[in-house]
Amino acid sequence: MKKIEIFLTDEKLVASEKISGVWRVIFDLHCITGDDSSAIDSTVLGSFSIGRKYEDYTSKKYNVKMPYSMFYDGPRAIHATDHATIRSYIQSTGLNWFSTKGCVGIELVGAKKLFEWSEILTSVYILK
């Protein structure tokens, strides 16, 4: 059993797997999320699951590359994005200039590993 938790306040993604009845953290990554002051661009709180995955995906709406996309809520996905760690830090100071359009962005290396580890129907929890 696998799960991915995104903590919006801390801009953290934690992926865990239940092994012998105990949840073990597999990945603990910085992430960048949507602008919570905009209903359109926010990363929505809730419980979801990965419905589709694409190793090489380009947004049809924004024409932006989204490598290692794991879609969990309609158009919202966890995917690789440029400079996610520094953007996450800047956003944590209250500057939303670097937020996403609702997706969860992580650095390329972490995104590739998470993509390979995750499965369709892996649970995704977006938490405050």
Mean pLDDT of 68-80: 96
In this predicted model, what pLDDT tens digit does every residue of 15-35 receive, in sequence order?
999 999 999 999 999 998 887
Tally of domains in the chain: 1
* Domain extent at residue 56: 2-127
pLDDT at residue number 34: 81
Contacts of 8 (CB under 8 A, 6+ apart): 33, 36, 43, 45, 126, 127, 128
Predicted confidence at residue 15, as pLDDT, reads: 98
H runs (alpha helix) in 1-128: 84-92, 108-117
Place of tokens 């990945």: 27
Residues whose CB falls within 8 Å of the CB of residue 1, separated by 6 or more in sequence, listed in order: 17, 18
What amino acid is encoded at 50 in this protein?
I
pTM of the entire structure?
Answer: 0.88
Q: Which two tokens stand for residue 93?
A: 């100071």
pLDDT grade, residue 85 (50/70/90)?
low
- The CATH number of the domain holding residue 16 is 2.40.440.10
